[in-house]
Amino acid sequence: MEAEVIKAELVLPTHMSFKRIQMYEKYPKGQSKVRWKQLKQILQAENYHNYPPDEPNYVNIESPPSMHPCKKICDITGFEAPYYDPRTNLRYANADVFKLVRSLPNEYVQRYLALRKAAVVLK
């Protein structure tokens, strides 16, 4: 270890005096073998349907879809965009932007669409 790294105390020491079980005892061979459950799995395992539905829980309190009409803005410039290009599915504000839209390579088109989660995802 370089001197400056030690001096800056960048690295977490492996032995902590206040711990009952140290990390290297709990997780031998570095990373833990345990696969941590993702949020989706945690929520599934919670079994919220067993409990009364009006009791607030993590899933209950989520917001409903928006009632307001969707705001249509140009994907590239951010202005109001009443039009959309059927070939690429991007929204554009005026003719200049349209020229830009048509000249974009496919990679950029997909990235712009991905901003709106409208890109074609091939699983």
Query: DSSP labels for 95-113?
Result: HHHHHHHHHS-HHHHHHHH
Q: For residues 106 and 122, which CB has a smaller minimum distance to another protein in the complex?
A: 106
Candidates 95, 103, 121, 122: give the one binding another protein (CB under 8 A): 103
The answer to whether residue 123 forms part of the interface with another protein (CB under 8 A) is: no
User: In degrees rounded to 5, what are phi and psi of residue 83?
Assistant: -115, 155
Candidates 49, 52, 53, 54: give the one binding another protein (CB under 8 A): 54
Rounded to the nearest whole angstrom, what is the least distance from the CB of residue 19 to another protein in the complex?
6
Which residue reads 């290297």 in tokens? Answer: 24
Candidates 71, 95, 120, 122: give the one binding another protein (CB under 8 A): 71
Candidates 9, 86, 95, 123: give the one binding another protein (CB under 8 A): 9
Task: For residue 73, give the 3-state DSSP assignment.
Answer: strand
Type and span of the H or E element at 46: helix 39-46
